[in-house]
Structure formats: structure tokens, C-alpha cells
Amino acid sequence: GLSTIRAFKAENSFIQLFAKKMDVNTSAYIIVQAATQCLALILTVLSSFILLATSISIALLSNQIDSPDAALSLICAMFIISGFQCSLRRLVESDILMTSAQRIDEYRHLPREENEEDCKHSVKTSTDWPDEGRIEFRNYSLRYGANLPYALRNIDLHIESGQKIGIIGRTGAGKSSLFKGLYRFVDQSNVTGDILIDDVNIHRLPLNHLRSNLTAIPQQPVMFSGSLRYNLDPFNSYSDEQCWKVLEDVQLKQFVQNHSAGLQMSISEWGRNLSVGQCQLINFARAILKNRKILLFDEATANVDQRTDDLIQTLIKNKFHDRTILIIAHRLNTVAKCDHILVLDNGMVVNYDTLTNILNSYQ
């Protein structure tokens, strides 16, 4: 993001924004430290009074108390004060740390996703479903909470098999929400309408079956700590020859061959030992290997250079020519070759046509 900030000469505004956030964070920290010191002072004063009261009592009763007993009383008073101070401080610290336990408890009580047993009136599909890749939205609306506004509103959309659909719109227009609806990431109580894939209502499918038959490539490449082969084929469903073939398709075969471990080369979490472009190409290799009929690209080329972007566009043209593809993008050239463009605004479809017709409508 630094290059974008510098390109728009927005350094000062971001520095001011960062300074304000630092002030908020520091002010909260200072308040906690001030409260801690205040508590320590109160405890010290209270302890001093207890010790003073003990000393006065010993002085008044000097004729009735032996010297060893007086010394023992003072020592016990000092230990009681120390223990009291320590206990009270630990109590305050535990109260602060219980915030973490409260968050864990909130996660524990989150409603779980539906599983196969919860799916009412579930339908069984063929092993190669979806074999055509047709997608239909029927008066579909989605929101993220019962008291929140709808992120998608009354979406009616029909996508034919093998079509390439470019999805554009401002931030918050509902582009990513469309994908979340397809993957059923949102609780069904916050959804109205239906989504059909090859005439099958996805709300009547087990989640595992639905999600395993869709392929998504997000903006941030997803890489796991492990070998390259594990990242390509986590469930060991394909042969080494097939893995080498898809690496060749994305022009990474030579790079992997130059590594002494080959397919077993180590990949760090999030692919930190690779470039962003290489990580994204591995994601595309995984998609080619998986060979699903429907693919969802969410800003898949936003963080790569022009050469990698051109390679990805070539892959989409050659390797996914018979697939149904939904592409979220901000670059016009990314969706320029799509069959149709879907324009979203405030969660509603404002235009759905070819790129030429849409451009003509704004002239």
C-alpha cells in the first residue's frame, strides 16, 4: 500500500491518522498505569495505618506484652500488609486478564454452522456436480446480523454455463457478499431468497459438499506451513505427475526443479519465503488441479505485477475457458474480456450487460 499512498501524495494524512490511533492507544495505557499507581498508593497508605495501629497498641500495652511478642506482632502485621497488597493487585490483574477469557467464551457460544444432520430436506447430487456450472439468484438478500441492514438486496441473476462474469462496484457495494452467499458463510436466518447451481438449491446441500465443489482464489494468497506438494494437494488426491503438470502450466516448474527438495520444498505460513506473485500462481495451480466447474476470483490479481497479471489472464483464457467464472476486480482490463459485467451499488444490481453496452450507457 505504500506505493499507492505515495502516488496520491497522501503521506501526511496517513501520518496524522496513525498519530491519532497511537494517541488513543497510549491514552488508554496511561489511564491503566495511572489507576495501578493510584491503587498502589492507597494500599501503601492503608498498610501504614495498620502498622501504625499495631505499633500504638504495643506501646499502650507495653506493660502487658513481652518484647518477643511485640516483635512478632509487628512482623505479622508487616506480612499481613504485604500479603494483602499482593492479593489485591493480583485480583485487579486477573480482572483485566479475564477479558481474554471472556472473548474465548464468546467464541465458544457462537452458533455453529449447519452440518449434514442439520440440513433439512437435503438433496443428493451426482459425484460430478456441478457438471454444467449454471448459477441463478432468485430474489436473494443477505445481511450479517438480525439488526443490520442488508448487504445484498433482491438479487435476481442468471449466469449460463461457461460464462465469465466481471463484478464491479464501489467498496461496500456487496461484491464479496455475493461470494459469501455462494459459500453460505452467513447464517441462513439472515438470508432470504435462493441460489441455485445447476437447478439445485444450495441451501439444501450439506456445507462440506457445497464448498468442496467450488473453487475460490482470494486477493491474499492462502499458503500453509508445509511442503509445496501439500499446498497443491492437501488431501493427497493427485499424483506427482499431475502436480508437476500444473506447475508447468503456471510457469513455476523450472523454479521448483531448481530447488533441491523439488515438490517437497518447504513453504512457510502465508508463503513468506515466496513472492506474492509466486504464491498466487500456486493458488491458480491448485485451482487447475482441483478442476471444479465454478471458480470465484476475488481481486486475485490486485497484488501482482503486470507480467504475472498477464500470465493469469492467459491461464483463465486457456485453462478455464469452459468454466463458469465470477471475477471481482477494480482494474478494467481484468474484466474487459468477460462475457458480461455485473455492476453492484448498495447491495443491488444496477446494471448487467456486456462491457460495450455498459460503457455506452454512461456516455
Q: Domain residues for 89?
A: 2-108
* Mode of pairing for the β-strands spanning 200-201 and 191-197: antiparallel
Same domain, 200 and 259: yes
193 within a domain of the structure (yes/no): yes
Per-residue confidence (pLDDT) for residue 116, from 0 to 100: 56
Same domain, 177 and 28: no
Same domain, 227 and 279: yes
101 within a domain of the structure (yes/no): yes
Same domain, 103 and 190: no
Give the model confidence (pLDDT) of 5-25 as tens digits: 888 888 899 999 999 999 998
Per-residue confidence (pLDDT) for residue 208, from 0 to 100: 87
121 within a domain of the structure (yes/no): no
Same domain, 85 and 159: no
Instruction: Extract the runs of DSSP E, i.e. beta strands, from 160-274.
Output: 164-169, 191-197, 200-201, 215-217, 226-227, 266-267
Give the model confidence (pLDDT) of 228-254 as tens digits: 999 999 999 999 999 999 999 999 999
Per-residue confidence (pLDDT) for residue 341, from 0 to 100: 93
Q: What is the CATH number of the domain that holds 190?
A: 3.40.50.300
Residues of the chain falling short of pLDDT 70: 1, 81, 114-121
Same domain, 168 and 249: yes
130 within a domain of the structure (yes/no): no
Per-residue confidence (pLDDT) for residue 196, from 0 to 100: 95
Same domain, 307 and 165: yes
Per-residue confidence (pLDDT) for residue 120, from 0 to 100: 59
Same domain, 52 and 144: no
Give the model confidence (pLDDT) of 144-202 as tens digits: 988 899 999 999 999 999 999 999 988 889 999 999 999 999 988 899 999 999 999 99
Per-residue confidence (pLDDT) for residue 1, from 0 to 100: 67
Per-residue confidence (pLDDT) for residue 121, from 0 to 100: 64
Same domain, 89 and 149: no
Same domain, 276 and 328: yes
Total domain count, the chain:
2
Q: Confirm if 141 and 153 have CB atoms less than 8 A apart.
A: yes
116 within a domain of the structure (yes/no): no
128 within a domain of the structure (yes/no): no
71 within a domain of the structure (yes/no): yes
Per-residue confidence (pLDDT) for residue 154, from 0 to 100: 94
Same domain, 52 and 165: no
119 within a domain of the structure (yes/no): no
Q: How many CA atoms lie within 13 A of 31 on its CB side?
A: 6
Per-residue confidence (pLDDT) for residue 80, from 0 to 100: 74
**In degrees to the nearest 10, what's the CA dihedral of 43, 46, 52, 56?**
-150
Same domain, 61 and 160: no
